[in-house]
Amino acid sequence: MPRLRLEPLLALALALTACGANCLRDSDCDDGRQCVRDSCVRPSVAEDASASGAAGQAGGQGMINPSYPGMGGTGGVGGASMTEQGGAAGTNGSQGGSAGMDASFGGSATQPRENLDASADADADVDAS
């Protein structure tokens, strides 16, 4: 009887543990959170993220990296900025893609508050143009 080789199965299990998605279903998340792009987020952030994502794709921009609570000391501030800019992105076509990129900078835990405001001003310029 041939011996069953377990190494491939162990490697697969390790890979899934190390690289597996944080969530794939809403029920993978705690109560009151949704699974968006394999991360658990609050529903309001999820809606903004999907609106920004649609605009970002229309503008040919890269991925948006929404900020999640608990990722850094200023995560809450980043999230608020993301919400405002995400809304603009959702209604602004290709320019929205640019706004989406700014939103990801706003989500950075290391970004000072002054720079967030500057980013918001820059967005206003983009929207005006």
Partner 1 sequence: MALLLVLGAPATAQAQSWMSDVQLGVATGLEGAGTGSGVGWQRARTRLILSLDLGSDEHAQDAYGVRTFVELERSLSVGAEFGYVRWVIPELNFFFGGVAVLAPETLFGGTAAANYTFPLGKRVGIALFTSLSVLPLGSDRPGDGVVMWWLLGLGIRGRL
Q: Which of 53, 79, 90, 97 binds partner 1 (CB under 8 A)?
A: 53
The 24-43 site mask, x for binding partner 1 (CB under 8 A), equals xxxxx------xxxx-----
Q: Which of 42, 50, 58, 80 binds partner 1 (CB under 8 A)?
A: 50
Question: Residue 119 is encoded by which pair of tokens?
Answer: 């980013």
Q: Does residue 45 belong to the site contacting partner 1 (CB under 8 A)?
A: no
Q: Of 16 and 124, which has the nearer Cβ to partner 1?
A: 16
Minimal distance in Å, beta carbon 50 to partner 1? Answer: 7
Strand 34-36 relative to strand 39-41: parallel, antiparallel, unpaired? antiparallel
d(CA 94, CA 16): 36
Helix (H) or strand (E) segment spanning residue 102: helix 93-106
Q: 7: how many CB neighbours lie within 10 A of its CB?
A: 7
Nearest CA to 88 among 124, 59, 117? 124
The 59-78 site mask, x for binding partner 1 (CB under 8 A), equals ----x---------------
Q: Of 53 and 79, which has the nearer Cβ to partner 1?
A: 53
Number of residues in the chain:
129
Q: 115: how many CB neighbours lie within 10 A of its CB?
A: 13
Q: Does residue 16 belong to the site contacting partner 1 (CB under 8 A)?
A: yes
Q: Which residues bind partner 1 (CB under 8 A)?
A: 13, 16-17, 20-21, 23-28, 35-38, 50, 53, 63
